[in-house]
């Protein structure tokens, strides 16, 4: 059972909303990151997509935000790593970790199978969408070697090279922390237990979350790993407050995914209601084992939602003020 005092909170920066709104103004992203740091949040995160859901590029955003913050960790939730060449990506992340004094977390996802707009992203880059998971696994192994070793050679299914040394190395020993995404899918949970430094998901039930976390720990033990080295996370979309905030949240998510809100809520964790109701649901996941909760606000007023969220979390003793 997780202790409330140990849970860490992050927020998702609205890089997709910047495109959806049509505004050419990055100030909201910077303001959110700076305010989150000042309010005591532990991390800020960005999503990733090339053409399926256009947004400001993830690592570029983290570099800009990293220059304006000092403490918060900087993460991707989630990043389609298979779209990138592992040597180039390893170099980008190592440089970013070096520039931000060791604050980078790479959350890797894979996209939805047979989703035409997401498979198109792979096709336009000359990549096979069906191989994206195997590509991602090999990429993780390659990047970790490049971060930890010199004169690296590799002959894999997707990448082959000889005598590569990358500099600078990341500040974090062993490189950026790598989180792997998986909902209640056995191969994905096994992959987290075998390779992940952290686990990302948007599982819709705290009870299922607990079952999946127990499986990950068992898979880690099978792989000869210490399960305590894996951080259990949660991607939590919310719209909280009165009826107007809830209605706005439903509209926001329907527009974002181009589907009715009810369909969205069946496939991913979306919680709307009063702040007490939302925090109750967060606490249920914390008790199920979640130690890092990434909050995405389904709201036009991101700053207002952030401030109200911080107050609600602080009132429950879940967020320590800086």
Q: Over the stretch 10-49, which tens digit does the pLDDT of each residue have? A: 999 999 988 888 877 889 999 999 999 999 999 999 999 9
Angstrom distance (rounded) from CA 79 to CA 77: 6
Whether 71 has a pLDDT exceeding 70, the answer reads: yes
Angstrom distance (rounded) from CA 89 to CA 256: 28
pLDDT at site 113: 83
| Tens digit of each residue's pLDDT (9 = 90 or more) over 302-316 | 999 999 999 999 999
Contacts of 239 (CB under 8 A, 6+ apart): 245, 246, 248, 249, 250, 252, 271, 272, 297, 298, 299, 305
Whether 147 has a pLDDT exceeding 80, the answer reads: yes
The secondary structure of residue 228, as a DSSP letter, is: G
Q: What is the DSSP string of 54-101?
A: --S-HHHHHHHHHHH-SSSEEEEEEE-GGGS-HHHHHHHHHHHHHHTT
Domains of the chain listed by start with CATH number: 9-229 (3.20.20.30)
Whether 5 has a pLDDT exceeding 80, the answer reads: no
Angstrom distance (rounded) from CA 282 to CA 279: 5
Return the CA Rg of the chain.
19
More confident residue, 140 or 20: 140
Whether 1 has a pLDDT exceeding 90, the answer reads: no
Q: What percent of the chain has pLDDT over 70?
A: 98
The answer to whether 183 touches 266, Cβ cutoff 8 Å, is: no
- Distances from the Cα of 286 to the Cα of 104, 167, 304, angstroms: 23, 39, 24
> What average pLDDT does this structure show over 292-310?
96
Nearest partner of 133 among 182, 69, 200, judged by Cα = 182
User: In the structure, what pLDDT confidence band is assigned to residue 112 with cuts at 50, 70 and 90?
Assistant: confident
More confident residue, 256 or 192: 192
The answer to whether 168 touches 94, Cβ cutoff 8 Å, is: yes
> What average pLDDT does this structure show over 52-81?
97
pLDDT at site 4: 64
pLDDT at site 69: 98
Angstrom distance (rounded) from CA 48 to CA 57: 7
pTM above 0.75, yes or no: yes
| Tens digit of each residue's pLDDT (9 = 90 or more) over 76-105 | 999 999 999 999 999 999 999 999 999 999
User: In the structure, what pLDDT confidence band is assigned to residue 322 with cuts at 50, 70 and 90?
Assistant: low
The helix (run of H) or strand (run of E) holding residue 145 is helix 132-148
| Matching residue, tokens 């990358």 | 166
């Amino acid at each position: 059972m997780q202790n409330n005092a140990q849970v860490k909170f992050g927020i998702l920066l609205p890089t997709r909303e910047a495109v959806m709104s049509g505004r050419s103004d990055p100030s909201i992203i910077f303001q959110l990151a700076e305010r989150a740091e000042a309010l005591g949040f532990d991390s800020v995160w960005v999503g990733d997509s090339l053409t399926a859901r256009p947004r400001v590029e993830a690592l570029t955003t983290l570099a800009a935000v990293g220059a304006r913050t000092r403490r918060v960790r900087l993460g991707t939730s989630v990043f389609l790593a298979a779209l990138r060449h592992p040597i180039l990506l390893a170099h980008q992340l190592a440089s970013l970790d070096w520039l931000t004094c060791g604050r980078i977390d790479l959350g890797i996802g894979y996209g939805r199978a047979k989703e035409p707009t997401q498979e198109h992203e792979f096709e336009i880059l000359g990549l096979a969408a069906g191989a994206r998971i195997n590509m991602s696994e090999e990429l993780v192994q390659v990047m970790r070697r490049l971060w930890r070793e010199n004169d690296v050679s590799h002959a894999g299914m997707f990448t082959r090279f000889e005598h590569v040394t990358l500099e600078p190395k990341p500040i974090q020993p062993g490189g950026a922390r790598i989180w792997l995404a998986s909902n209640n899918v056995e191969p994905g949970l096994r992959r987290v237990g075998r390779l992940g430094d952290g686990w990302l998901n948007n599982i819709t039930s705290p009870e299922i979350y607990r079952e999946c976390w127990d499986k990950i720990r068992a898979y880690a033990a099978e792989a000869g790993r210490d399960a305590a080295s894996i951080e259990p996370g949660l991607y939590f979309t919310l719209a909280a407050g009165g009826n107007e905030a809830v209605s706005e949240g439903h509209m926001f998510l329907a527009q974002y995914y181009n589907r009715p809100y009810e369909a969205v809520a069946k496939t991913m964790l979306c919680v709307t209601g009063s702040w007490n109701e939302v925090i109750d649901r967060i606490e249920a996941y914390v008790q199920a084992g979640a130690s890092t909760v990434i909050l995405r606000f389904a709201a036009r007023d991101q700053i207002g939602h952030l401030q109200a969220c911080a107050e609600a979390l602080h009132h429950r003793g879940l967020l320590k003020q800086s």
